[in-house]
Structure 1
Amino acid sequence: MAQFDPRRQPMRFAPHLLTAVAALTVASLAGRVYQPAQAEPVPELTAEQIASLEARAFAAAGAPAGLTAPEAIPVQIRRGETFEQAVQRTGISGAEASAVAATLSNAYDVSQMQAGLRFETAIARPRGGRGDARLIGLTMRTGPASQLTVSRSFDGALRLRALEERVTEETVVLTSEVRGSLSATAQRMGADANIRRKAIQIFAHRFDLDRDIRASDDFTLVFDRSVTENGRTVDTGDLMYAELKGIAFYRYQPAGAREPQYFDASGKNMRSSMMRTPLVRGFRVSSSFGVRTHPISGFRRMHQGIDFAAGTGTPIVAPADGVVVEARRWGGYGNWLRIRHANGLESGYGHLSRYGSGIRAGQRVSQGQVVAYVGSTGASTGPHLHYEIWRNGQRINPTSIRVDVGTELTGADLAGFRAEKARIDRIIAAGGQRRPVVMQASAPGLRPAAPAATRS
């Protein structure tokens, strides 16, 4: 307690002094405008960020008491199986499978799901090994750039979310040196199987792809594709330009033609009357046409074809348009195929492992179409293709066939080709082009629904 000191004067504030101080304070604040607190705007999340947040939510909610961390289990609906039966195979109970189906039915008619449909699940299992597993999340793709997810919220409810990715259509210009093989290099750069197959088919008219192509040879491919904002390719268009070792081919469809064709820079069709070989990659000549010692009988006899050593399953293509005459078993030739072409020519193929899709007697085939696959059936010491050429019923040396080059564009077709060539050249000079597109979900059974719904 403070002690009273008679030597000090007590400090007192006069009422008028307090009033003056208050007046000054009010005056100083009177000129200021009240500023409410401003909340910072929340940025819109991208699909990638949403997916990342969902993954973190799965991890956080994925190990409730008594359960292990969730494991990813892919599921494919089997023939005659319902969605509930398919998801039950992950180990969850029938009641939980019904709850998942009810949640998903807010945006998808689960009764329309067909055999072969795939989806991903995240499943947590009991730590003691007893009891039913629990579904933590499910992801189902409903279109090229859309998907539905069912996730377990923190309160145990199932939540449905529809995600739609933004898609960009772009024209890609891939340029590289060959490293390993042309096909493998193109694959590493992002060309899908259809683009690689078409490029190899085009180049096979001018090159022996096993002997003419070397490491460091330059090539360029130009094609359209649709990609999501995360870089996933959802669709690929046609190959519009292919160049190898300085020889370029442009895609163009002349008036009246049934399908686009490929022409060199001068407008000459790259199609030859007969491709150099029926194999376009992964082979070597193991036996030429002429007299040789037979590898099985040991006798010297005429070898009336060419043998190409290649791995089992290597695709064999038709060297020219034609009609299948035979597709059957034939003695030492094993699985045998014979195709009739124009000008009295026929081609024969022996020791096949299997035939191409739809190949049978009477079937028309086009140049470059896969008609069979290399094997080792019949009298064979290993996987290879025995290839023959017949002219007017007599076997001849396949290398003696004179190959005619394709026709050359003229008139209006040549003018149209030059305009298309100039357009493609501008795209190549610009390094490609991009344009946004909107892709609609296309899965059967998809219903318009609110983006999110919750089910217990």
Structure 2
Amino acid sequence: MAQFDPRRQPMRLAPHVFTAVAAVSVALLAGRVYQPAVAAAEEAGLIQLTDEQVDSLEAQAFVAAGAPAGMTAPEAIPVEVRRGETFEDAVLRTGVDESEARALVQTISNAFDVSRIEPGLRFETAIAKPRAGRGSARLIGMTMRTGPASQLTVSRSFDGALKVRSLDEKVTRETLVATGEVSGSLSASARRVGASAAITRRLSQIFAHKFDMDRDIRRGDDFTLVFDRAVTENGRTIETGELLYAQIKGQVFYRFQVPGSREVQYFDATGKNTRSAFMRTPIVRARISSSFGMRRHPISGYRRMHQGIDFAAPTGTPVVAPADGVVVEARRWGGYGNWLRIRHSNGLESGYGHLSRYASGIRAGQRVRQGQVVAYVGSTGASTGPHLHYEIWRRGQRINPSSIRVEEGTVLTGADLAAFRAEKARIDRIIAAGGERRPEVLQATVRGLRPVQAAETAES
């Protein structure tokens, strides 16, 4: 169990003065009183401590908290509210007695409606246990995240009563212009410059229409991404918005929502949609292990026609629909194992073999959109290892998937083109300025917590 360090700010939200006061409180509870008059005066906000005094108080309290009279050093004990239990039940699992748990609930109730707390809520307690092993543990303090940039802290005052404070961290919304070079995969490289998983997925979808992500994107290729995010004063990203702009290997795309449309799309600098009739591959970052044509079968040993393309990829790798369509089959089919077939326009169908599983909701009759995850790579059926067998059918006949001509997307015109150019100009200005920052206070709270009088809980 981790030892409780009274100098540590669990969520890095508390100011130094509060940390010092909380640390001194722990020392007092341990039976070691350090200059109570000074501490009390600071608590009342009558004097201002210097940085040296704060450091000294923290150091003294840390030494004192290491050996509380008759108790072990406080330990940080994480707690998660379980299904069917109350907040008080969860606190009791730390070893404190009912009076301690009840007092904590009453204290928290001054800021949040504890009856609305739901299973899964997590908080951290600081607990000291009796050295002799007999008796109840004692609550030293508690911290609980109550929002994306706020937390609730409970500590003991000089008379031993529990005190609650609501600590808010300043949040800035910014439009980030992130640049980098590809090292490994494009997705991993994007994450290193601050992109979220959702943004890297969108990035792969956009460029899958233009590039074979395994062979066309190489180490050292530079890229630029523009996206919104919310960051705390300590630099922690708490929310990431949509990808507004992406550039790699000279290909540039802007996010734009056509007026009256519910769908967000990406267009090049001229207003041409990134979407094509067919994506080049149904899988990102996969090596072609077997091409279309005659080959020696890896299991039977006979030479025969290989009527598709095999992509080597780990089990569980997402497989996406290369174009809009309707699922025709999602079933077991002999040596293909788990098989999926999708009917597209112009007499084309795509087929996928050896799948480990289908994506949620994929079944015969289900409509799918281009770029939607429909299944996951596996090794079912007659297979020597994890890979995707990919086929294209034209009017019932298998053809080489590499022969499919990729047609360009639609081009904006008229009022839609004018609106796109205005949005493009806005994004270009942000890029030229190196980004944009907008201070903002986030009011959202953790699910299951209803503020009662949070504005009145902070004490100085």
Structure 1 stretch 348-357 or stretch 105-114: which is displaced more? 348-357
Provide the C-alpha distance between the structure 2 equivalents of 1:207 and 1:103, rounded to a whole number of angstroms.
58
Measured after TM superposition, the shift of residue 48 of structure 1 is 4.7
- 8 Å CA contact 1:324–1:337 kept in 2: the answer is yes
Aligned partner of 2:451 in structure 1 is: 446
Aligned partner of 1:272 in structure 2 is: 276
Measured after TM superposition, the shift of residue 55 of structure 1 is 7.2
Measured after TM superposition, the shift of residue 288 of structure 1 is 1.2
Provide the C-alpha distance between the structure 2 equivalents of 1:432 and 1:236, rounded to a whole number of angstroms.
15
Q: TM-score, normalised by structure 1?
A: 0.84
Q: 1:439 is paired with a residue of what secondary structure?
A: coil
Aligned partner of 1:114 in structure 2 is: 118
Provide the C-alpha distance between the structure 2 equivalents of 1:306 and 1:117, rounded to a whole number of angstroms.
47
1:87 aligns with 2:91: yes
- 8 Å CA contact 2:13–2:168 kept in 1: the answer is no
Provide the C-alpha distance between the structure 1 equivalents of 2:220 and 2:153, rounded to a whole number of angstroms.
46
Q: Which amino acid aligns with 2:413?
A: T
- 8 Å CA contact 1:67–1:127 kept in 2: the answer is yes
Q: 1:97 is paired with a residue of what secondary structure?
A: helix
Provide the C-alpha distance between the structure 2 equivalents of 1:364 and 1:326, rounded to a whole number of angstroms.
12
In structure 1, runs of 5+ residues without a counterpart are 1-44
Q: 2:276 is paired with a residue of what secondary structure?
A: coil
- 8 Å CA contact 2:97–2:136 kept in 1: the answer is yes
Provide the C-alpha distance between the structure 1 equivalents of 2:208 and 2:264, rounded to a whole number of angstroms.
18
Provide the C-alpha distance between the structure 1 equivalents of 2:170 and 2:278, rounded to a whole number of angstroms.
45
Give runs of aligned pairs for residues 278-289 of structure 1, distance below 5 A. Answer: 278-281=282-285, 283-289=286-292
The one-character-per-residue Cα deviations of 1:38-66 (angstroms, maximum 9, x if unpaired) are xxxxxxx9855467547745664755223
1:360 aligns with 2:366: no
Aligned partner of 2:296 in structure 1 is: 293
CA 1:397–1:92: 2 relative to 1, 3 Å: farther
Q: TM-score, normalised by structure 2?
A: 0.83
- 8 Å CA contact 1:172–1:225 kept in 2: the answer is yes
Give runs of aligned pairs for residues 319-338 of structure 1, distance below 5 A. Answer: 319-338=322-341
- 8 Å CA contact 2:275–2:408 kept in 1: the answer is yes
CA 1:131–1:262: 2 relative to 1, 3 Å: same
Structure 1 stretch 437-446 or stretch 416-425: which is displaced more? 437-446
Provide the C-alpha distance between the structure 1 equivalents of 2:222 and 2:183, rounded to a whole number of angstroms.
10
The one-character-per-residue Cα deviations of 1:357-408 (angstroms, maximum 9, x if unpaired) are 3222222221111122212222221111111112222222111111111011
- 8 Å CA contact 1:101–1:110 kept in 2: the answer is yes
Aligned partner of 1:423 in structure 2 is: 426
Provide the C-alpha distance between the structure 1 equivalents of 2:290 and 2:258, rounded to a whole number of angstroms.
41
Q: 1:220 aligns with which of 217, 224, 229?
A: 224
- 8 Å CA contact 1:146–1:441 kept in 2: the answer is no
Structure 1 stretch 424-433 or stretch 77-86: which is displaced more? 77-86
Q: Percent identity?
A: 73
Provide the C-alpha distance between the structure 2 equivalents of 1:132 and 1:392, rounded to a whole number of angstroms.
76
1:435 aligns with 2:441: no
Provide the C-alpha distance between the structure 1 equivalents of 2:412 and 2:167, rounded to a whole number of angstroms.
49
Provide the C-alpha distance between the structure 2 equivalents of 1:129 and 1:54, rounded to a whole number of angstroms.
29
Measured after TM superposition, the shift of residue 173 of structure 1 is 0.2
Q: 1:386 is paired with a residue of what secondary structure?
A: strand
The one-character-per-residue Cα deviations of 1:311-361 (angstroms, maximum 9, x if unpaired) are 111111111112222223333222222222112222122222222232222
Provide the C-alpha distance between the structure 2 equivalents of 1:451 and 1:412, rounded to a whole number of angstroms.
52
- 8 Å CA contact 2:22–2:155 kept in 1: the answer is no
The one-character-per-residue Cα deviations of 1:157-214 (angstroms, maximum 9, x if unpaired) are 3221111222111000001111222222221221111111111211111111211112
The one-character-per-residue Cα deviations of 1:285-312 (angstroms, maximum 9, x if unpaired) are 1111122222222222222211111111
Rg: which structure is higher? 1
- 8 Å CA contact 2:110–2:457 kept in 1: the answer is no
Give the CA RMSD over aligned residues: 2.3
1:376 aligns with 2:382: no
In structure 2, runs of 5+ residues without a counterpart are 1-11, 27-60
Q: 1:226 is paired with a residue of what secondary structure?
A: strand
Provide the C-alpha distance between the structure 2 equivalents of 1:67 and 1:336, rounded to a whole number of angstroms.
63
Q: 1:115 is paired with a residue of what secondary structure?
A: coil
- 8 Å CA contact 1:352–1:385 kept in 2: the answer is yes
Structure 1 stretch 341-350 or stretch 148-157: which is displaced more? 148-157
CA 1:353–1:96: 2 relative to 1, 3 Å: farther
Aligned partner of 2:48 in structure 1 is: none
Q: 1:75 is paired with a residue of what secondary structure?
A: strand
Aligned partner of 2:8 in structure 1 is: none
- 8 Å CA contact 2:187–2:200 kept in 1: the answer is yes
Provide the C-alpha distance between the structure 1 equivalents of 2:351 and 2:22, rounded to a whole number of angstroms.
56
Q: Give the total of aligned pairs.
A: 409
Q: Which amino acid aligns with 1:446?
A: P
- 8 Å CA contact 2:175–2:229 kept in 1: the answer is yes
Q: 2:129 aligns with which of 97, 101, 125?
A: 125
CA 1:160–1:398: 2 relative to 1, 3 Å: same
